[in-house]
Chain A
Amino acid sequence: MIHFVLLISRQGKVRLTKWYSPYTQKERTKVIRELSGMILSRGPKLCNFLEWRGLKVVYKRYASLYFCMCVDTDDNELETLEIIHHFVEILDRYFGNVCELDLIFNFHKAYYILDEVLIAGELQETSKKSVARVIAAQDTLIEHAKEQSSSLSNIIAQATK
């Protein structure tokens, strides 16, 4: 099971956090501080795994961003690496050549996508296509709803004038 997902920039700034196991706000801050210290200081040639408090942290660096997932000790590390990659590929497909800025300004979208990839700490969808389809459906519906609401408010605004 995946206990949490962290996205940390090379400067140690948090870009996204998702917790599948209960952690209090205090613990979260502590975990992030501890892990970003450990991960950012590791050399490029070393392995992408960390043993940490009886759990394992698998991380991978993409450009200036570190994607980290914390899994149980009996989970397959290489698989976790590929889950990270899977998520990144989906982000890439959605944003079109994704970069850190996309995630900074649209972090809620990244959350929606993550919710389609992982659920309750397990990988829920292994087909990129079907994730893309759901996200697209949500987006069009939202766009639609937005237009509707804005036009509606326009009408009301005009009517009340």
Chain B
Amino acid sequence: MESWANVIMKKAFKHGSQNTIDQLKTIGRELSMGTQGNWLSSKEYLDLVKAIGEAKSKAEEERIVMAEIEHLKKRIMEPDVPRKKMKEYIIRLVYVEMLGHDASFGYIYAVKMTHDDNLLCKRSGYLATTLFLNEDHDLIILIVNTIQKDLKSDNYLVVCAALTAVCKLINEETIPAVLPQVVDLLGHPKEQVRKKAVMALHRFQQRSPSSMSHLLTKFRQILCDKDPSVMSAALCALFDLVSADVKGFKNLTASFVSILKQVAEHRLPKAYDYHRTPAPFIQIKLLKILALLGAGDKHASENMYSVLVDVIKKNEPGKGDPGSNITNAILYECICTITAIMANSKLLGLAAEITSRFLKSDSHNYKYMGIDALGRVIEINPDFAEEHQLSVIDCLEDQDDTLKRKTLDLLYKMTKSSNVEVIVDRMISYMRTLSDAHNKTEIATRIIELTERFAPSNQWFIQTMNQVFELAGDLVPVKVAHDLMRLLSKGAGEDDEEADSLLRSSAVESYLQLLAEPKLPSILLQVACWVLGEYGTADGTHNADDIIGKLCDVAEAHPGDNVVKGYAITAITKICSFEIGAGREVQLIPECRSFVDDLLASHSTDLQQRAYELQVFLGLGADLVRKVLPVNGSGEEIEFDRELPFLQEFVDSALANGARPYLDENERLGVDSGMSSFVSSSRSHHEPSHGLRFEAYETPTLAVSSGSAAVPSSLLPDFEESVTEPTRSVRNQTDSSQVDLLGPEVARLRLDGVQRKWGRTSGSSQPSPAPTPVSEQQRRGSGVSEGASSNNESSPAEPRHDTYSSSFEGKKVQRVIPAEKQRLAASLFGGSSVQKGSSGGVNGGVKASNAAGNVRPSEKGVPSRPVAGSGKEKNWSAAEPKQASSSLMDLVDMSGDDLLPVHDSKASYDPFKGLEGLLGVPSTAASSTPAGLGKSTMDFMSLYDSAPVVSQSASSLAGDSDVLPLGHRRSGGMDGANGVEGGLMDLNMLPSVSPLAGLGELAQSSSSSSPSTGVSDKKGPSRQHSLQKDAASRQVGVTPTGANPALFQDLFG
């Protein structure tokens, strides 16, 4: 009876499942009549499964499961549930949990079940606990004892069950409890037990390498186990060990090679064959280990040559045969190994052959593997890509999303300055189709990286960035936006003001256009506001009121976004002050007036302050405003005088009054025991401590109270410091803001206290700048060489030429073979002909893994990146590290730092008194103290500068009251706006020109402009060379797939 039902059921499932549910119903009925026997479960359980199977909707299923949970909760808590029943309940709990519901009420019963003597129940208990509990669950501690007991059992099945549980449940803390027993089990007579013990040790090794360090030799011994499955288990562990420490295992290379040889020669028992391939999984593991051992080691690699050839030969399918999945898996692994080790040309040839076969296959799986393999092969032999460009294009345009992404990965690896536009274009259009945040972030990061490394022009860079901001929005790190702003403020060349101002006005235009769109991500708005504020009125085409109107619109449209509002109000401030500086009367338009009024009453102190600043500016005279906010001052650097001589007087008087002299943090920690104990205890408090702490807390010792301060120093050391030693806070705030002069006093006082209380003290955080600046410094380092080598060349002209000739190349190809694919292929693969002349740089560019720094200096036409160019300045100081790591919040919070008291030469004990004086008559204060004039101006500018958000990222006012040059600069900028030169015009047109379209004219212009630019070309590939090449290729009429291999040898060489 039941076997009959069984058969029907199976049939029903095998024949289409469209009406599975109906069939299940009928079958279920049959089944319910004849259930018993080999189903091993009760009717109740079957009913549950059936009911869920019949559920017509998710809601119905939900209801059934909820009812089941209620039912189980009641039943499972009854006293004296029979064992068998209990076991069934547990299995039902597993079922419920599998369906995504919470069965945590039953975990404890599962744990209890593992204590059972009956193996049947014990195994169910272990199964349930391994499924229920993660290794950090509280109940684990209850199960350790059972596991310990079971590991000693003389029934190997019990030991196996316990070992399986060990692999899942034992965490770092409980490893010591079971480790000795597991190690003992390595000598167990049953190979199943040994195998599981090895796997358990492997797991321990992953969890806590330190507790396993004494067992490393064990793994070597296990490798010699007579049972193949134990040996293969050891390979898992050895793979991890080798990847952690290659050197320590070099001496095993020969053993691995000989094992692989034996396996490939079919020496293992037939039971390990898989589809007539000898132990493929073991072979793959061995190949992975060999890849690690042979990487960068000529000698070790040489030992592997013959065995690799053997393995490939044995798995290579006959002609026209695609080969089985498993042989191809081994072949793919061989490619990985060959490309990882220092292979000889024969092996590389074999790898290339297999890759070609994968790429040409019809199966999407093999194509995918082929693309991956191609990415590995071209890292060693770049010309190989050329042969397969059409396959790659096919994959890129395939409807299979996975394949498409994989191909984009490959292109990412192949990007160089000649094809960056095409590739980034592709990536952006792919990004348009994406919806999930993870993928978007990933691809946005890649686009940003590529554009930063290879951008042919600043124009293109800005446009691409705008697109990325638009598509990825807030997924883009804020730093990217700051880089973009910095690029704009620094401009392209060192002295090429005209190009800069052109760039800026085009940026202004593009942002004005963008702002018309309804929905924009916050980060793009921030950039737009900044650009409008800085350069909106610079070229004279836009009226200040228009720009201010736009900015007000932006702020109004985003009432919830304080950061955007902050950017907007600061931008308005700048525009107003530029107007004032230019001697024009400023009358705020009504909507701006109401916006400012709004902000004056804002809850955000930051916005409030910015609004007050604006008000103050409106009341200031033209001269002063011009000094405070010079036109186009954001690209300049501020010099910091870290000695702060103007504070000396104040420090002296403080010392005279009994304050302690300033000490370094290190010294301070050494000297002040009370403080150090506080610091250390607070630090240990912050450290994530997993275990319980058993030692008592230290009793706080009262530190020697210092000077006039009556504050218990050990408890509030920072506060105490700030009271007695204002110098310290000032030192840390070298750039801190004179804004205090301008804003209201009241809020500041309170904020000050808050800042000191909650923030990590500036004293301890500042001396060790955040880790990011290091990389920033490095980048700057490369910027120095860049700046040095590109002395005064008109760099924008170069990329133009570059692009045109490469796109011309594309055009030519297009003429010969009109297919769209050919063109794309040409632009991706063949476009590099222009680059050919450059020696190492392009090659380096192929290897995406290379650090950007390696490539940049030799790369032609790379604009000085936002970070570059500033490498010159020496006074690299406090503001900059911050800026490097500045996040959005940093910028906003900055004002909090600014609010700290600032002392200029006039300030005495009460800093605010002095400030009040300044606030009242700022101009008189400045002029009436001739000695302080220079200093106060300096303060004024540098300090103010840190208040607007902009200046955080590009703080740059000349620190030494160097005002005149600013005027020059301004006029230079104006000139640039008027006198437009041909090259720059072209630059402007650039973005509208796709490398693939409208190439005729461009080709002309490129050839006509090249002689002039060619002369100034000192770095990068020789222009003439590339032109010759270009002409030659035109003569020959080759296409990238055509019959001139030598050409492409060159291209990729």
Contact = CB atoms under 8 A, between A and B. Distances in A.
A100 B13 CA distance: 7
B368 A49 contact: yes
Contacts, number: 181
Contacts of B84: 149
Given A47-B400, A49-B365, A82 B326 contact: yes
A6 B164 CA distance: 19
Interface residues of A, number: 69
A155 interface: no
B402 A50 contact: yes
B99 A120 contact: no
Contact of B438 (A28, A53, A130, A141): A53
Interface stretch (B275-283, B480-488, B745-753): B275-283
Interface stretch (B131-139, B501-509, B1043-1051): B131-139
Contacts of A115: 127, 130, 164
B325 A78 contact: yes
Interface in A1-47: 9-11, 13-14, 16-18, 20, 22-25, 28-29, 32, 43, 45-47
A145 to B, nearest CB: 5
A67 B286 CA distance: 26
Contacts of B332: 76, 78
Interface string B281-309: 11010000000000000000000000000
A24 B192 CA distance: 31
A158 to B, nearest CB: 17
B219 interface: no
Interface string A93-125: 000010111101111100110010001101111
Contact of A124 (B130, B233, B369): B233
Interface string B112-142: 0000001110011001001100111000000
Contacts of B91: 108
A29 B100 CA distance: 6
Nearest to B195: A124
B266 interface: no
B119 A79 contact: no
B803 to A, nearest CB: 32
B626 interface: no
Nearest to A134: B192
Contacts of A9: 17
Interface in B367-415: 367-369, 399-400, 402-403, 405-406
Interface stretch (B199-207, B781-789, B819-827, B932-940): B199-207
A46 B402 contact: yes
A108 B333 contact: no
A64 B281 contact: no
Contacts of B202: 120, 122
Interface in B300-337: 325-326, 328-329, 332-333, 336
A85 B280 CA distance: 13
B271 A83 contact: no
B547 interface: no
Contact of A120 (B199, B281, B326, B367): B199
Given A78-B332, A82-B329, A86-B274, A47 B367 contact: yes
B39 interface: yes
Contact of B167 (A17, A51, A119): A119
B120 A45 contact: no
A10 to B, nearest CB: 6
B329 A119 contact: no
B134 A119 contact: no
B271 A128 contact: yes
A25 B104 CA distance: 10
B77 interface: no
Nearest to A111: B127
B160 A17 contact: no
Interface string B223-242: 00000110011001000000
A146 B100 CA distance: 31
Nearest to A128: B271
A13 B174 CA distance: 36
A115 B166 CA distance: 12
A45 B98 CA distance: 30
Contacts of B236: 122
A86 B236 CA distance: 18
B49 interface: yes
A81 B368 CA distance: 13
A119 B232 CA distance: 13
Contact of A127 (B83, B199, B229): B229
Contacts of A28: 100
B281 A47 contact: no
Nearest to B53: A104
A126 interface: yes
B492 to A, nearest CB: 36
Given A25-B100, A47-B368, A120 B120 contact: no
Nearest to A52: B438
Contacts of B368: 47, 49, 77
A108 B269 CA distance: 31
A112 B134 CA distance: 18
Contacts of A124: 195-196, 199, 229, 233
B10 interface: yes
A141 B118 CA distance: 10
B232 A105 contact: no
B208 to A, nearest CB: 14
B405 to A, nearest CB: 6
A99 B365 contact: no
B167 A126 contact: no
A105 to B, nearest CB: 6
A47 B363 CA distance: 7
B272 A126 contact: yes
Given A46-B402, A51-B405, A100-B13, A138 B49 contact: no
A124 B196 CA distance: 8
B10 A105 contact: no
A11 B442 CA distance: 31
Nearest to A148: B118
A52 to B, nearest CB: 8
B424 interface: no
Contacts of A22: 134-136
A120 B236 CA distance: 11
B364 interface: yes
B345 to A, nearest CB: 25
B316 to A, nearest CB: 15
B364 A138 contact: no
Contact of A122 (B192, B199, B364, B442): B199
Nearest to B164: A115
B14 A99 contact: yes
Contacts of A111: 94, 127, 131
Contacts of A101: 9-10, 13
B329 A78 contact: yes
A41 B840 CA distance: 46
Contacts of B365: 47-49, 77-78, 81
Contact of A79 (B195, B199, B329): B329
B16 to A, nearest CB: 9
A2 to B, nearest CB: 11
Which 5 residue pairs of A and B lie closest in terms of their CB atoms, listed nearest first? A78-B329, A47-B364, A120-B167, A127-B271, A129-B271
Interface of A: 9-11, 13-14, 16-18, 20, 22-25, 28-29, 32, 43, 45-51, 53-54, 63-64, 76-79, 81-83, 85-86, 97, 99-102, 104-108, 111-112, 115, 119-120, 122-130, 134, 137-138, 141-142, 145-146, 149
Given A79-B284, A83-B281, A142-B119, 4 more contacts: A24-B134, A45-B364, A51-B402, A77-B368
23 contacts: A20-B168, A25-B102, A29-B100, A43-B399, A46-B402, A48-B365, A51-B402, A64-B17, A64-B20, A76-B332, A78-B328, A79-B284, A81-B329, A83-B281, A85-B325, A111-B94, A119-B199, A120-B167, A120-B168, A127-B228, A142-B123, A149-B84, A149-B118
